[in-house]
Amino acid sequence: MKTGLHILINAISARLGGGITVMRNLLPALVQVDGQRHQYSVIVRPEIHDQIDPHNPRVRMLPQKVGENPLMRLLWEQSALPLRSVIARADVLFSCGGLAVAAAPIPQVLMIQNMAPFDSEVVKRAEGLKAFRLEMLRAMGIASAHVVKKVVFISEYARNAILPQMHISRDRTACVYLGKDPVFSPGARESASVLLARYRIEEPYLFSVSQFYHYKNIVELVLGFARACRSLSPQVKLVLAGEEIDPDYAYAVRQVIRQEHIEGRVLLIGQVPYEDLPPLYAAASLFLFPSSCENFPNILIEALASGVPALASRLGPMPEIAGEGAAYFDPFDPEDIARAILAHWDQQDRCAALREAGLARSARYSWPQCAMGLLEVLEKAP
């Protein structure tokens, strides 16, 4: 096994949500577990530099402006990144955004984090330019798999779903689960009162965290909550946290809220700073995760680690990752979502058992463990 590597990390794809979460936690974990053997250079957008910088002398941050246009990002990666890797004298290039460099002068390892381009149902539900973009990302992801030493998947579900589309052998892949930040714990509940007052949230509440994309099934969640409201106390609210990335879908969510006449019972609090999430999770009575397209559901693991009983989509990798730590529903069926809510609301014994199982399940995932799995792949690449 080769040691003393200079690992160049292309994190230019990390702009928001899960991409930032991964880099924020992975970088300090790498320097923690690598036996002080390696050097890391991280290419990152300037606007998220401060969010992910581990402030370690063995990690050099390289801010790079590429703009918001995905074509500009692609052009930069394919033309400038090969030269950057030579100048940096790197031994291996790790790209965590699903796209490799066609003419990289050094060995590459690719991580697939975005499941959407490889999910035919998601592509079918997209329209116009959105569908075209997903199709292009799929084609480029498949091409990328053929020029790298190893493709890293972050769930077995994703590997089994995507590998047949890539037409590469299984021995050129690895599965490395992501981790969880220890800030997510039941103890975060102690600091929730001030935060809840700031967001104007009153207990009890159901909580869901997601960026607004159609495959996150927020419309179905709102419809399910509306049906459950017929049997819930008027004080019970649904709190939705997340950036409204897709304006059309955000409009559809708001339309459903109005049509169901539950404006006063659904709170849209927008993008929430990372440090605010642990208390919001921990103070919730139930957590709801209706997404049907995930690679590794970081958000669901955060909820389990926070000690909130979790109800999740039975599709995708959710049962693989959460196991007995969550209860499941059909994310496309509002009636089934309502059934799951009512089956657990005010059911203390059932929720206590789910909470305990969720905490046990979340303990399986850690960023140092993720970093060790990834290093095993990176160290064999040169």
Which pair of structure tokens corresponds to residue 243?
A: 């950036």
What span, in angstroms and rounded, lies between the C-alpha atoms of 103 and 371? 27
**How do residues 102-128 score in pLDDT, each as one tens digit?**
888 899 999 999 999 999 989 888 878
pTM: 0.91
Looking at the chain, the whole-number percentage of residues with pLDDT higher than 70 is 99
Whole-number pLDDT of residue 1: 45
Domain boundaries for CATH 3.40.50.2000 within the chain = 6-179+367-378, 186-362
Beta bridge mates, 8? 41, 93
Please list the helix, strand and coil fractions of the chain in percent, rounded to the nearest 5, in that order.
50, 15, 35
Q: Quick one: fold of 6-179+367-378?
A: Rossmann fold (3.40.50)
**How do residues 216-241 score in pLDDT, each as one tens digit?**
999 999 999 999 999 999 999 999 99
CB 216 within 8 A of CB 289: no
Cβ neighbours, 10 Å, residue 104: 22
Residue 86 CA to chain centroid, in angstroms?
Answer: 31
The count of C-alpha atoms lying within 13 angstroms of the C-alpha of 313, restricted to the half-sphere facing its C-beta, is: 24
**How do residues 284-316 score in pLDDT, each as one tens digit?**
999 999 999 999 999 999 999 999 999 999 999
Beta-strand relationship, 108-112 and 6-10 = unpaired
All residue ranges of the chain with pLDDT < 50 are 1
Contacts by 272-277 with C-beta closer than 8 Å and gap 24+? 272/209, 272/241, 272/242, 274/20, 274/21, 274/24, 274/51, 275/183, 276/195, 276/199, 277/184, 277/209, 277/241, 277/302
What span, in angstroms and rounded, lies between the C-alpha atoms of 362 and 325? 8
Phi, psi (degrees; rounded to nearest 5) at 227? -70, -40
Whole-number pLDDT of residue 3: 64
Structurally, at CATH architecture level, domain 186-362 sits in 3-Layer(aba) Sandwich (3.40)
